[in-house]
Chain A
Amino acid sequence: NAGVTQTPKFQVLKTGQSMTLQCAQDMNHEYMSWYRQDPGMGLRLIHYSVGAGITDQGEVPNGYNVSRSTTEDFPLRLLSAAPSQTSVYFCASSFAGRTEAFFGQGTRLTVV
């Protein structure tokens, strides 16, 4: 049972480049979410999804897009990377938005 799998683990981008962070879960969870973690600021919600075909914005959505075509996958797209998007990104899933969240291993992104 793999849980929540994120790829890549590390990424360096140049300003203006685009990329997709991948997230997959094998627990049949309906609720999935993306967070960014910056020093001293905890985890801030970027986007979330309550099921396939349904997504919504979190606290810090600007510069990011998501889609949820299947229950298992919830990719996060950076359309035009900026240095302010340098952060550690975590994907999480839960049975419902109010239950225990399982986090992926994280992606450390640096934008230069």
Chain B
Amino acid sequence: DAGVTQSPTHLIKTRGQQVTLRCSPKSGHDTVSWYQQALGQGPQFIFQYYEEEERQRGNFPDRFSGHQFPNYSSELNVNALLLGDSALYLCASILRGGSNYETQYFGPGTRLLVL
């Protein structure tokens, strides 16, 4: 049973560039959430995708956007990178309506460094 996978594992970008992070949910899961975890802090919710639409959004600027594909995988895009975007980006998946619906399963994360 494949868990949540994310790619790449590490990434280095410079200010002003754009980045795309990818997530494949746990097998059978249809909903993906993205979180940003700055160093030494708890994860902050960015947004959640279900049925290829953004369903919930946290307090992040429009520079952060996403997409969900028909196979339920998802991308997180960040434009015009700032130094403060350096963080661990975590993807979590759930099966909407499943018996364990409240539990989100996390991937290993993508560590982004903006120079």
Q: Do A and B come from one complex?
A: no
